[in-house]
Structure 1
Amino acid sequence: MKIGVIGCGSIAQHRHLPEYAAHPDAEIVAVCDIVPERAQTIADQYGTRAYTDYHEMLANEEVEAVSVCTPNYLHAPISIAALHAGKHVLCEKPMALTVEDADKMIEAAKSNQKTLMIGHNQRFVRSHEIARELIESGKIGKIYSFRTTFGHGGPDTWSVDGKHSWFFQQEKAGIGAMADLGVHKADLIRYLLGEEIVEVAAFAGTFAKSATVDDNAVCILKTESGIVGTLTASWSYVSKEDNSTIIYGERAILRLEDHPHYSLIVEYANGEEAHYALGKIQSNEEGGQNTSHVIDHFLKSVINHEEVPVTGSEGKRSLGVILAAMESSQTGKVIKIHP
């Protein structure tokens, strides 16, 4: 599969490019970035062609599929242009900044009969996959509640542009920590519980960074069956990253990525425990998993003409949760979401 990568920032450099390069069924044939020096440096590194205008890259008929790794506000327009150009698209999260743009992306994929996948990599973490299986099997019983969090020091600690990163600029990011981290956890809770979020109440603000977007948010989520839990997203965790989730069930508690050695701990009501050592979760910190598995699933789906595991519709539903959270924070109201 001939691949083009649009946007050569941190996520492209640490995930998309090396994972495509390591995959036997992929060949990187083009990279694009508005910073000419960055585009050329990456092109030289991977022995490919550099572009500074994505329209020119999309006109290259050799490119069969693209990864969209740009600032958030460009996700929808670039993905739509790529789909209309006949390319399959893997788009970073959040897929768009409005539900309307998400719908346009989905329609563009459908009308051009091309694949659209959203890069929600938390679904492919092994502890999360096992937890979903345990919940589906009924071994955990009825789910009562949950709490999930994603926090680290912020994009200034890892973005290629540091404290000047687009992540902190409202006109380019749209939403801050909730779009960067919260959307991951919104998608994860939907995946783990197999339910949609139907009500959201949230508080979000800017406390730690020089930014025009939120850097901290705390949300209360309610699912369609009535499960209530919390979601936290933060760019102000000054010590180690926290990427944990805890599910409270009738027969057991699931602790996901909440222990330094065990990726999943199951604490049963009868006092028994099961410990799963599955390796560290994919992380910006040293020692995290060296693959997100997103590229593997995307290529497999395209090559085998299968539906991707994270469709545009799935991405839209997770986007809807963070949009509702921001609306709640701004209005002081509980926001209802219609699945």
Structure 2
Amino acid sequence: MTKLRTAIIGCGAITQHRYAPEFAAHPQVEIVAFCDKNRERAQAYADRYGGKAYADYREMLHEQKPDIVTVCTPNAYHAEMTIAAVQGGAHVLVEKPMAATKQEAEAMIEAAQRSAVTLMVGQSQRLMPPHLKAKEVLSSGKLGRVLTFRCSAGHKGPELWSVDGRSSWFFRHEEAVMGAAGDLGIHKADLVRWLLDDEVTDVSAFIGNRDKEDSDVDDNMVCIIRMRSGAIGSIVASWTYYQGEDNTSIFWCERGTLKIGFEPDYPVIVQMNDGSIEKYGVGGISTNDNQLKSGVVDSFVNSILTNTPPLIPGEEGLRSLKVILAAFDSTATGRTISVG
């Protein structure tokens, strides 16, 4: 069986915890290259998982001509690297946020379409077992219409996650473009859209830096969103949850309430208006402190092998990105922004 030749660009924490081990474990994948501007870091991964180390991604694409490229570099470089890879004929899995601007994301989608390759965005929260169960519950209709909701994603900050600690690119605007909003807020924006099978129409937000000194990106975001269905809710993203991580969501519906992530043993809880309670022990939600298999790699590879659309195509990544970009526009203007 011919294996898919895979290259990973960017050798930071997400590669350490997700992409390198998950691609290496896949029976139909062969890792042929690691690329990072710090070549020694790329070499360390190549020594462990196989393949050749590179510091220049264009050189790597030219020499290796991989079937698959995973882009998990600083956000500012997602578009140029993705476009170069798809133009070389590679299928691309790009980390979130997929791009820094709407125009970049559109260019990535168009480039993939022109090359007839798969583009998938690593919005991993869709694949967490509790979120899959929550989707099942909401889709069943047992709770009726979703009326309002509250979603929170936060941790102590990238200094405890990034391989470069406090000197990480996460804190530099020219590379990160956006902080907690793009790191965590986009996960919740994407999750709400997917869970409700609905689109965000309006955003009103406050985004700013509250405590991360010597950083020119945001460490907190609070926004109110309205869905096409009329449901309204809030999304909070923070790098200053110093007491510990939070990845919870709650949906108040006509006939009951759906809670996600509040109890470790039962991450999905349904409380009906008649007082009945259903608890589901369906696995965990991956966090910085508790890394679990994401399912992203398996899903992406399967879409290529079966020639079927990816679970999270570029178009979906763009729709979620537009929510966060609207939040920045709202902060800058002091107005509610319509998400076109």
Question: Is TM more than 0.5 here?
Answer: yes
Task: Return the offset for 1:62.
Answer: 4.7
Match 1:238 to one of 237, 242, 247: 242
Where does residue 333 of structure 1 map in the other structure?
A: 335
Aligned equivalents of 2:129, 2:264: Cα separation in 1: 15
**Alpha-carbon distance, 1:225 to partner:** 1.4
Which of 218, 221, 228 in structure 2 is aligned with 1:217?
Answer: 221
Q: Could you tell me how far apart the structure 2 residues matched to 1:147 and 1:285 are?
A: 23
Residue in 2 aligned with 1:323? 325
**Structure 1 residues 97-176: aligned runs within 5 Å:** 97-176=100-179
Matched, 1:40 2:43: yes
TM-score normalised to structure 1 length: 0.98
Choose the corresponding residue for 2:182, options 179, 182, 192: 179
CA RMSD of aligned residues (A): 0.9
- 1:238 is matched by which residue type in structure 2? Y
For the residues of structure 2 that align with 1:62 and 1:214, how far apart are their CA atoms? 37
Consecutive unaligned residues of structure 2, counting only runs of 5 or more, are: none
Q: Which amino acid aligns with 2:135?
A: R
1:54-73 to structure 2, matched below 5 A, reads: 54-73=57-76
Q: Which amino acid aligns with 2:24?
A: A
Question: The residue matched to 1:60 in structure 2 has which SS?
Answer: helix
Give 5+ residue unaligned stretches, structure 1: none
Provide the C-alpha distance between the structure 2 equivalents of 1:60 and 1:320, rounded to a whole number of angstroms. Answer: 35
Tell me which amino acid in the other structure corresponds to 1:335.
I
d(CA) in 2 for partners of 1:300, 1:83 = 18
SS in 1 for 2:151: strand
Q: Which residue in the other structure is 2:309 paired with?
A: 307
Deviation per CA, 1:84-125, whole angstroms, max 9, x where unpaired? 011000000000011111010000000000000000010011
* Superimposed CA distance per residue, residues 152-202 of structure 1 (whole angstroms, 9 cap, x where no aligned partner): 001001101100110111111111000000000000000000000010000
Residues 206-230 of structure 1 deviation map (CA, whole Å, 9 limit, x = unaligned):
0121210100010000001111000
Q: How does 1:268-307 map to 2 (within 5 A)?
A: 268-286=272-290, 288-289=291-292, 291-307=293-309
Q: Which runs of 4+ in 1 moved over 4 A?
A: none
The aligned length equals: 336
Matching residue of 1:256: 260
Distance of 2:43 and 2:119 partners within structure 1:
27
SS at match of 2:207: strand
Aligned-partner Cα distance in 2 for 1:58–1:36: 15
Give the whole-Å Cα distance in 1 for the aligned partners of 2:139 and 2:272: 16
In the TM superposition, residue 260 of structure 1 has moved relative to its aligned partner by 2.5
